Structure 1
Amino acid sequence: MLFSRHSPRGTLAASALGFAVVLLDVSVVNVALEALRLEFATDIAGLQWVVNAYTLAFAALLLTSGALGDRFGARRVFSWGFVLFTLASLACGIANELATLVVARLAQGVGAAMLVPNSLSMLQKAFQPGEERSRAVGWWGAVGGLSLAAGPVVGGLLVTHLGWRSIFLMNLPIGLMGLFLTLRFAAPDGEGHRRCLDWPGQVAAVIALASLTASLIEASSLGWSDIRVQAGLLLFIVALAGFIWMESRTKTPMLPLTLFRNPTFTISSVTGVVVNFAYYGLVFVLSLFFQIQQQLTPQQTGLAFLPMTIVLVAANIVAGRLMTRLGARRILVLGLGLAACGYLLMLLASIDGRYGMLIIPMLMAGSGIALTIPTMTNATMSSVDASRAGIASGVLNSARQIGGMLGVAVFGYLVRDTAAQAFRHGMYEAMVLSVALLFLGGLLCFVGMPKVIQEGIAASEKKLRPATLRKHGHST
């Protein structure tokens, strides 16, 4: 039978392809911002919606999608995630109105949330615990990291030579290939766990995140005094309070609040928000800076990001070796401090306006962020029992996506005026905010991380299977 051959390597290929296409769409859109602005005659707020609609759905549904995979089968949910992601990409590619594109991006985010956690569940089933599974998860993370780093370059080439629609339409052959590999090689789902799903908590989380995102984005054009912006912020507060209240009382919460009693887990989650806030916000602002202020083509913009993207891959490799020698706390403080110094030097670039002034700051910021991501992931996994490693990594990844979404919203508000002087002033403010948050994050890690984490994670690694420790990868 065509769809009956189980193959661990084929499963790995399908899982890695699903993770790669999700991260590719995180970064590839940024180099098309100017093309989208001209195509739809929109402002910065419209561009923020294109970027953040994807991240919003992805962040809000990540935890529930993993639970759906546990209940109905990871292979089944992963396959439907590929179908939805591919169809949504087609809708993005043929969209003729901005609203249609934003809705399609939301659907893409839902598909992405279905893909990521269930890709790991399929790997867990396909490979035996130990070195074999660790190697598979390592390849999974490496493919995802490379796709994230390659996104600006690939996107720049496609937009320049084939137009902005091509960055979405390229997902069609990838999605079809991923779906074929899944149906061909992934083992059939067994009996699912009949766990209850926290739908009230999920609805409250979506309302809270959506209202906050909408308020931050629309404030750039409507102003903070507008009744719609204020109503959105009030709705966010009410929904957030309701979410916390429900999660503290339900027997099967999507977000177990008891996890935050662990200082290492709490600090790692806060660090995840800060790091992605600074990184996603920076990529958004620099994309506008290169294309609108420096008049670079999409291809040149993609190449302009190379110093940061290359060092992201290299520093990820170095981080794993440094953790066992220096300890998680030292690496976190070093990484956040290095990133903060990079953003500090970017203040000069925002005044000078030359690309050459950005190269060293981009190298420093990229290195610091790349050192921080795998370290906080391992610190999180080392701080919880093996039985809660899955939910802990899911919460951390959700926190990171929320941070990225907020970064784009806040940075976009600061550079909402594209006039040269006003834009550079907003870029300056964005860098100042990033420096402050990164330094505060480093201080929080230094003061709050327990000593056992500072001494290294080697002892804690013995409590967890290697594959579990590395679950959810190290990519930004």
Structure 2
Amino acid sequence: VAGFVVRQATARRPLMPLHILRSRGVAVANVVQILTMAAMFAFQVLITLYLQQVLGYDATGAGLAMLPAAVLIGAVSLGVSARLNTRFGERAVLTAGLVLLVAMFALLVRVPVDGRYLTDVLPVMLLAGGGGLVLPALTSLGMSAARPDDAGLASGLFNTTQQIGMAFGVAVLSTLAAARTAGRVALGDDRATALTSGFHLAFAIGAGLLVVAVALAYALPRPRTAERADAPALVG
């Protein structure tokens, strides 16, 4: 990424002109997206591993356990978020969604070795619906901050930072979880306890990423009404 930025800064015809990042709204929205995607996609990987490696679910059972989160995220993003954005404003909806995700990670930090689905896992899946509030509001805020002639560039940048956040979150948080697990096994913990300790560390870091995202959300400018109506939706 650093090499790409250097290249774009020096190229005569850059693929991504860096002037796009002079817009505070565009720059902050993309940072918030990286942090959110890092936490959310690490959550999807790590909670599945917790269900399978600690609670003993098979692949089908883990998939069904994750279904409420997927259904809620889809339902909220498609059926609720637009109305909430219109009524309360994108920044308020974004903040509310991020707070729900912080609460979700706070619960994950407490999941026990002998967790039960209804009391320890299902509440987490329900709070994951906050992701359905975050992305539409964030996209609208970031796109409305771009100049009309930069709309295509801003949309491409949003898609790219989504992918960067996903890769970063899964790589870093899973590595830290694995390192904590190995350390606990070396100290004599059984495998399930060591794995849970590793997941707790990763979830705590995920919560920290989202807390930073909440703080940054306050730096996002409020879009003007005309801009809000014209902001294109994120594709992909």
TM-score, structure 1 normalization: 0.45
Could you say which residue in structure 2 is the equivalent of 1:301? 62
Structure 1 Cα separation of the partners of residues 228 and 214 of structure 2? 24
Could you say which residue in structure 1 is the equivalent of 2:125? 362
Offset of residue 351 of structure 1: 5.5
Task: Answer yes or no: is the 8 Å Cα contact 1:340–1:435 preserved in 2.
Answer: yes
CA pair 350-458 structure 1, distance change in 2 beyond 3 A:
farther
Equivalent runs, 1:406-445 vs 2, <5 Å: 406-416=168-178, 417=181, 419-445=191-217
Task: Answer yes or no: is the 8 Å Cα contact 1:411–1:430 preserved in 2.
Answer: yes
Offset of residue 350 of structure 1: 4.2
CA RMSD of aligned residues (A): 1.8
Offset of residue 471 of structure 1: 4.3
Determine which of 74, 83, 86 is the counterpart of 1:321: 83
Equivalent runs, 1:59-458 vs 2, <5 Å: 205=1, 240=2, 242-316=3-77, 317-350=79-112, 353-356=115-118, 357-364=120-127, 366-416=128-178, 417=181, 419-446=191-218, 448-450=219-221, 452-453=222-223, 458=225
CA pair 415-353 structure 1, distance change in 2 beyond 3 A:
farther
Aligned partner letter, 2:18: L
Offset of residue 435 of structure 1: 1.2
Structure 2 Cα separation of the partners of residues 313 and 257 of structure 1? 33
Task: Answer yes or no: is the 8 Å Cα contact 1:415–1:427 preserved in 2.
Answer: yes
Could you say which residue in structure 2 is the equivalent of 1:460? 227
**Seq. identity, %:** 29
Q: Deviations over 1:58-106 (max 9, x none)?
A: xxxxxxxxxxxxxxxxxxxxxxxxxxxxxxxxxxxxxxxxxxxxxxxxx
Structure 2 Cα separation of the partners of residues 268 and 320 of structure 1? 18
SS at match of 2:109: helix
Structure 2 Cα separation of the partners of residues 351 and 459 of structure 1? 51
Could you say which residue in structure 1 is the equivalent of 2:188? none
User: What 5-or-longer segments of structure 1 have no aligned partner?
Assistant: 1-204, 206-239
Offset of residue 293 of structure 1: 1.4
Task: Answer yes or no: is the 8 Å Cα contact 2:25–2:142 preserved in 1.
Answer: yes
Aligned partner letter, 1:319: S
Aligned partner letter, 2:175: Y
Offset of residue 459 of structure 1: 2.1
Which structure has the greater CA radius of gyration? 1
Structure 2 Cα separation of the partners of residues 352 and 322 of structure 1? 38
Once the two structures are overlaid, the 10-residue window that deviates more, 342-351 or 308-317, is 342-351
Aligned partner letter, 1:299: T
CA pair 471-288 structure 1, distance change in 2 beyond 3 A:
closer
Task: Answer yes or no: is the 8 Å Cα contact 1:349–1:355 preserved in 2.
Answer: no
Offset of residue 258 of structure 1: 1.1
Aligned partner letter, 1:380: G
Structure 2 Cα separation of the partners of residues 460 and 352 of structure 1? 50
Task: Answer yes or no: is the 8 Å Cα contact 2:113–2:192 preserved in 1.
Answer: no
SS at match of 1:349: coil
Task: Answer yes or no: is the 8 Å Cα contact 2:173–2:205 preserved in 1.
Answer: no
Aligned partner letter, 1:253: P
Q: Deviations over 1:30-83 (max 9, x none)?
A: xxxxxxxxxxxxxxxxxxxxxxxxxxxxxxxxxxxxxxxxxxxxxxxxxxxxxx
CA pair 245-321 structure 1, distance change in 2 beyond 3 A:
same
SS at match of 1:348: coil
Aligned partner letter, 1:285: L
User: What 5-or-longer segments of structure 2 have no aligned partner?
Assistant: 183-190
Task: Answer yes or no: is the 8 Å Cα contact 1:324–1:458 preserved in 2.
Answer: no
Could you say which residue in structure 2 is the equivalent of 1:17? none
Offset of residue 386 of structure 1: 2.4
Offset of residue 415 of structure 1: 2.8
Q: Structure 1 runs of 4+ off > 6 angstroms?
A: none
Offset of residue 352 of structure 1: 5.2
Task: Answer yes or no: is the 8 Å Cα contact 1:319–1:374 preserved in 2.
Answer: yes
Task: Answer yes or no: is the 8 Å Cα contact 2:113–2:193 preserved in 1.
Answer: no
Structure 1 Cα separation of the partners of residues 18 and 195 of structure 2? 40
Task: Answer yes or no: is the 8 Å Cα contact 1:290–1:301 preserved in 2.
Answer: yes
Offset of residue 387 of structure 1: 2.1
TM-score, structure 2 normalization: 0.88
Structure 2 Cα separation of the partners of residues 352 and 390 of structure 1? 49
Structure 2 Cα separation of the partners of residues 252 and 378 of structure 1? 28
Task: Answer yes or no: is the 8 Å Cα contact 2:35–2:213 preserved in 1.
Answer: yes
